[in-house]
Amino acid sequence: GAGVSQSPSNKVTEKGKDVELRCDPISGHTALYWYRQSLGQGLEFLIYFQGNSAPDKSGLPSDRFSAERTGGSVSTLTIQRTQQEDSAVYLCASIGRPNTGELFFGEGSRLTVL
């Protein structure tokens, strides 16, 4: 596609349920990032994939969070046993050439945990 695509755009779930958020990066982009943005706040780094290298998971807040990237393209962020504090907008970004440093963001997935 022309841009980074995220789905669902909105997700309401009950506390304790698992959720999956999907990111489809720009075709050919080798690096993919997940960030979390709480209401009115800045972006919190979660995880970063670069090509076939092991992902940098240093930002994942707990072991309830995991992410994978299949075939070097689509990525899924999974949150198990959701808690109310997980409510936020989850933003995905991709980057084509690391030297340019320009991140292309999707519109985000807004997660609300009741």
Partner 1 sequence: SQQGEEDPQALSIQEGENATMNCSYKTSINNLQWYRQNSGRGLVHLILIRSNEREKHSGRLRVTLDTSKKSSSLLITASRAADTASYFCATATFRNFNKFYFGSGTKLNVKP
Contact positions toward partner 1, by CB under 8 A?
Answer: 4, 31, 33, 35, 41-43, 45, 48, 50, 56, 91, 93, 95, 98, 100-108
Q: Which residues contact 99 (CB under 8 A, 6 or more apart)?
A: none
| Smallest gap from residue 109 Cβ to partner 1 (A) | 11
Nearer Cβ to partner 1, position 31 or 74?
31
Residue pointed to by tokens 């075939």: 71
Residue type, 90: Y
**Terminal Cα-to-Cα distance of the chain (whole angstroms):** 33
| Smallest gap from residue 107 Cβ to partner 1 (A) | 5
